[in-house]
Amino acid sequence: MKQNSPFSLHLLGVVSLCAIAPAETALAAPPAGCATVHASSEEDTPKGLIYHDLSVSAPSGITSLHVKKLVFAGRASSAQATQDLAQAASLLLVSTMTGQHNAACTQWLTEQGKQVVAGLQSGAAYDLTWNSATIEHGAAHVNVATARYQMQGTAGPHTSSASLSMSGLSFHNVANQQLLPSAAQAAFSLPTAEIPALISAVGGRSTAAPAVHATISNFEASEGTVRLQGHGQATLTGDVAATSASGHLEITNLEELIEKARTARQMKLAAGLVLGRLVSHRSGEQNTWDTTWTGGVLTVNGFPLPIK
C-alpha cells in the first residue's frame, strides 16, 4: 500500500462509504492482493443488519480494521452486491483513516461505486454505523467509539447528500496526536456521477482518478474546548496533496490550540496561527477567517499556515 499522512483530511473521503451487507464467518473476498475480510456472525433485525467482530486486513499485514459491531440500514440489488458493498465500505474506512491506497483494489472499488450510483439514482439511502472500531497501521493505532455515515440521493437531480460523524477518537503512536480531534462531523453534497471516481481514488489509485467536487454545508472538529468549524467548497481525491478546499473557518479557543502546537513542537504551525490571529475577526471566544486549503497548507486571509 502507498502511504500518505495518518489520519489526514481524508475524513471527507468517507463520502464514498456506502453500504454493508449480509456477512458470513468468512466473507467473499475482494480481489487477490486487495484485502481480506471476515466477520464472526450476523443478525437481521428490524433496525437493520448487525455484524459482530468484523475485520479487514491488507495483504501486507501492516494495516487492518477491527470493528466490534457494525449496523447497516439499506440494501443493494442482490445479496452478493450488498455483500460487496459491505466490504468496500469498511475497506474505505481503513483507507480514509490511514491514507493507504492499494492499486489492486481500484477496479473492484470502481464497480462498487457504480452500484452506489445506481442505488442513489433509484432513491435508495444508506446508513452505516461502526461501533468500537480500531484501525492499525504498523505501531500506529486509531480508536473510534462510534462512526456513522449516511447518504441519500435527494439533494438534487444529479446530486447526493451525505453526513459523517465520529466520536471517541483516540490515537497511539500517531504523529502530532495532541493536535488531532476527539470528535468530528461533516454534512456535504456532491455530484452523484463522481462517486465511483472518489471510491477508486480513496481505496485504490491515489492520483489517477478524477477529482470530486463537494459542497460542505458544515464541518466541525473538536478536542477539549478547542473547536474548528467551517463551510465552503472542496475538491476531493485519494491524495491529500491533491485535495483542496475554500470557505469560511471559525476556531473557538485559538489560544489553547496555539499552546497545543507549541507543546507538540510544531513551531511553524504555532507561528502561523499567531499570524492568523492578527488578521482574524474576533467575536467572544471565536476567531473567524475566509480560508483556502491546498497541498497541506491552510491560507488565512493571505497568510500561509503549513499544517502538514
For 87-132, write each residue's pLDDT tens digit: 898 999 999 888 888 999 999 999 999 998 988 888 888 888 999 9
Please compute the mean of the pLDDT values over residues 139-150 and round it to a whole number. 95
Per-residue pLDDT band for 305 (boundaries 50, 70, 90) equals low
Amino acid at 229: Q
Rounded Cα–Cα distance for residues 132 and 44 (Å): 20
Contact between residue 18 and residue 90 where contact means Cβ atoms under 8 Å apart: no
Write out the E strands in the chain. 36-38, 41-45, 48-57, 63-73, 125-137, 140-156, 159-167, 170-172, 183-191, 212-223, 226-236, 244-252, 281-283, 286-294, 297-300, 303-306
Q: Per-residue DSSP letters for 235-298?
A: EE-S-GGG-EEEEEEEEESHHHHHHHHHHTT-HHHHHHHHHHHHTSEEETTEEEEEEEEETTEE
- Specify the pTM: 0.82
Of 27, 3, 145, 160, give the one whose Cα is nearest residue 89. 27
**List of residues 6+ apart from 211 with CB closer than 8 A:** 197, 235, 236, 237, 242
pLDDT band at 27, cuts 50/70/90? very low
Query: pLDDT exceeding 90 applies to what percent of the chain?
Result: 41
**For 78, phi and psi rounded to 5 degrees?**
-155, 170
Amino acid in the structure at residue 303: F
Cβ pair 82, 72 in contact under 8 A: no
CA atoms of 84 and 78, how far apart (whole Å) = 10
More confident residue, 2 or 253: 253
Dihedral of the alpha carbons of 13, 265, 144, 62, in degrees to the nearest 10: 80
Mean of all residue pLDDT scores within the chain: 82
- Closest C-alpha to 99, from 214, 158, 32, 14: 14
CA distances from 26 to 54, 83, 131, 253 (A): 10, 11, 20, 48
Q: What are phi and psi of 95, to 5 degrees?
A: -65, -45
Query: pLDDT tens for residues 28-38?
Result: 568 879 999 89
Query: What pLDDT score does 29 carry?
Result: 65
Residues in the chain: 308
**114 close to 128: Cβ distance less than 8 angstroms:** no
Q: pLDDT of 51-92, one tens digit each?
A: 899 999 999 999 999 999 988 887 767 767 777 887 898 999
**Helices marked H in 99-239 — which ranges?**
106-121, 195-203
Whole-number Å distance between alpha carbons of 49 and 67: 14
Residue 151, CA atoms < 13 Å, CB-side half-sphere? 28
Over residues 184-228, the pLDDT tens digits come to 999 999 999 999 988 888 898 766 667 888 999 999 999 999 999
